A = this chain, B = another copy of it.
């Protein structure tokens, strides 16, 4: 059985990506990161998802991104709320984490090298996250090249491939895809700024993109949001 490493945050995109890898008959090794998030809600969601979808293994790497600062998701600054679609779509958001996907893919590559696996899945999306440089096809291509020149396995002839099955899909299309694959999206978590009891705020960029996606997919979002 062919193996794959799948980066899994527990959000809709990475969850759907894991379901796709499983549907393509990969034995999946889900990899999540505990990177000094303000709360454990994200890794809890990843655990639920990995278990529910039937990942072969789920590993969580603890990494302290706080030593870099530089982002609303790791610094103690406010997450922006209620931004318009135009504001979300243009420019690089302050929730951008420096070199995050580079770091995540580097860990995925290390894991792939030892498992061993030649395939790495990442749920990046160039449509809704056009502002993130490390969600673009150019970046993925550059990393795939790096993987093949920078590892023992690559040099010895294994051909690493970075799979990005969602890269050209809208959030609505991803939600429909998840539905087709029978994914239980009530297990996922997207919010940048949940309440202490884990409810989504409904106002940060990630919640707004999620809600818009469900609206456009004409599907009801099964998670609970904080009451205003």
Measured CB to CB, the residues of A under 8 A from B are 59, 61-65, 67-70, 92, 96-103, 105-107, 109-111, 113-114, 133-134, 136, 138-139, 142-143, 145-147, 149-152, 154-155
Contact = CB atoms under 8 A, between A and B. Distances in A.
A65 B106 CA distance: 11
A101 B133 contact: no
Contact of A142 (B68, B99, B145): B145
Contact of A110 (B65, B136, B138, B147): B65
How many copies altogether?
2
Contact of A149 (B110, B114, B142): B142
A141 to B, nearest CB: 8
Contact of A98 (B61, B114, B155): B114
A173 B5 CA distance: 41
Given A70-B110, A92-B155, 13 more contacts: A59-B67, A69-B114, A98-B109, A98-B152, A101-B150, A102-B110, A103-B107, A103-B110, A105-B106, A133-B155, A138-B149, A142-B146, A145-B145
